A and B are shown apart, each in its own frame.
Chain A
Amino acid sequence: MRGGEGASRAPVLQLTNCRILRGRRLLREDLWVREGRILDPEKLFFEERLLADQRRDCGGCILAPGFIDVQINGGFGVDFSQATEDVGSGVALVAQRILSHGVTSFCPTLVTSPPEVYHKVLPQIPVKSGGPHGAGVLGVHLEGPFISREKRGAHPEAYLRSFEANAFHDVLATYGSLDNVRIVTLAPELGRSREVIRALTARGICVSLGHSVADLQVAEEAVQSGATFITHLFNAMLPFHHRDPGIVGLLTSDRLPPGRHIFYGMISDGIHTNPAALRIAHRAHPQEEPLGPSGGVPEPGCPHTPSSVPGGPYPPPPQSLPSLLSRHQDPVRQHSSDGRVHPAFPAGHRLQCGVSPGGCVAAPRPATGTGEAQGHPGLRG
């Protein structure tokens, strides 16, 4: 049944028998889409006077915005920090394989490396739209080398650097071009970090604090200079202390610029952090969005194998967020302990009208057995 328009009008697709994430709740609602944009069906009914042209039964699945993985070092045998001639293939492979884990966009992450590696690798990882072929590349996440020696974790000490001498020029000299860079993790206690943070944010690059021994005041100053993210909260930073909460204290700091949101990633594999710690972080500031890197630990075959990383052995991969999710009753609800759900990402995407979903995922109903998350890359906006 149509309104008065001709057959050239774009078809309206109605996804039925599904649960969608809206207003921080899972609702039993149909999702209406036309030309890759989510529609307000009430408006469609009363103003355009149209019904759906096609209907698709989603079998009770959850339709959620695809996960955005902002910290993933590789996977499936690929290590993004390895300077090969064909980094692009590795990125494409990972992009394709993470789709079934519900990730529809990601930031390939490079750990601390010598300048030659950055100069060779970065130009080979352009920003790329996702689709059925693979998750979209939002830009590279450069985790290091401007980080704390003490908190370097698994990063190679030899390649740590400082920008005390020439601030932003040191940054450019180290990385080469910043064209494909989306996030930089640095330690704000390093000299001239505030200048560097301002210069990076002026170029639209997200600055994240991590691998650092900064106290709360230094962290607050970094945020005032433009930092908006915390890399794997709790790990590779000073632990929370009641007289100086350190970087963790940013979650409840009252010295942040008004209206500024702090986002944080967490490695929620149950090994890097205790779930109780994650819940404390979430309850401290429920509006702030926690994100989980999907690649918790590198696989054998990557340079950072269990044998080469101090403190090993590590559990078999992928002890990652998506596979954790697949083992739980209600994958999306697992983001939050109090039963509320957050579409977990800082880019502001929501399943709201007028927005291109930018990749949506159908998460299956809880199955009786465990197994891999079987998402379907559903829509492409």
Chain B
Amino acid sequence: MVEPATATQAAAPVMPQLKDELDIVIPTIRNLDFLEMWRPFFQPYHLIIVQDGDPSKTIKVPPGFDYELYNRNDINKILGPKASCISFKDSACRCFGYMVSKKKYIFTIDDDCFVAKDPSGKAVNALEQHIKNLLCPSTPFFFNTLYDPFREGADFVRGYPFSLREGVPTAVSHGLWLNIPDYDAPTQLVKPLERNTRFVDAVLTIPKGTLFPMCGMNLAFDRELIGPAMYFGLMGDGQPIGRYDDMWAGWCIKVICDHLGLGVKTGLPYIYHSKASNPFVNLRKEYKGIFWQEEIIPFFQQAVLPKDCTTVQKCYVELAKQVKEKLSKVDPYFDKLADAMVTWIKAWDELNPPTAGSVPNGKAA
């Protein structure tokens, strides 16, 4: 039996790192009570709340937090016709928060995620761990069997080439979940009682050339390195699919990170995921995705970006072109999605005009 942590104040750091460089983006449709539990860890940071669903509803934010809140009316006002790329009635709308943020780093978390406990019973400061992950290099070109070599008590193992030990910048830190695991609907239906109680004390870099299912429940990234690729797609109201927003973003960012020589980490930190969504509702949202992913994954596995794609935006627009060329035949939805990807980049660039003398994000592989 795994339980969330309650004594979180003790684990709060004396000096919160990056407090003026990181925004916490939270999509919500109900309330933000869960913030009380996170208060010692989150209070020093600025929050961007993206309110999904009925904009006339008032979302109560617990007192003492510094935040900005956007509902659908705000999104429509700010983006105009380009607002069509932001999903409605789906947590995918959170990516609007990434777009309007002015900070270098983003941490996003779902409103049913609480603080986890490590095996010693201590509260896990997930944000602090994500920051550590992002500030430390990744090692995508050769697998280290002792996982993150930069962690205390670890290092590179015998045989690890010295020329690869500097690592590359980390663009994404993907955290995990105790209690309710992130299963798809069929698995949920077959194993309704399964709970994740295994605390795996590791952070590792996902090797170059390997795709993974990125979950948006507990995720942090460097907005300057990879932000424009973190589009969460067209989901929810009026769309044939749901619960594939973070998956789609994960496949896109991995292809682009591999191309630009950036790293993606997975593992710690854990959060405590408290609510299991209704598996029948999930099945209806996901079921097309379950078939489509069989075509989508080979598409991403084989995607090659040309050498002249040296910025994230260029990579993303090229990817959108390939989606239109190769995935439209799977379903006309992908045609719409490819257009939305381009709209997203246009909106991103409008809201985030490049500063003078800005350089490409990385070297094309």
Tell me if chain B binds chain A.
Answer: no
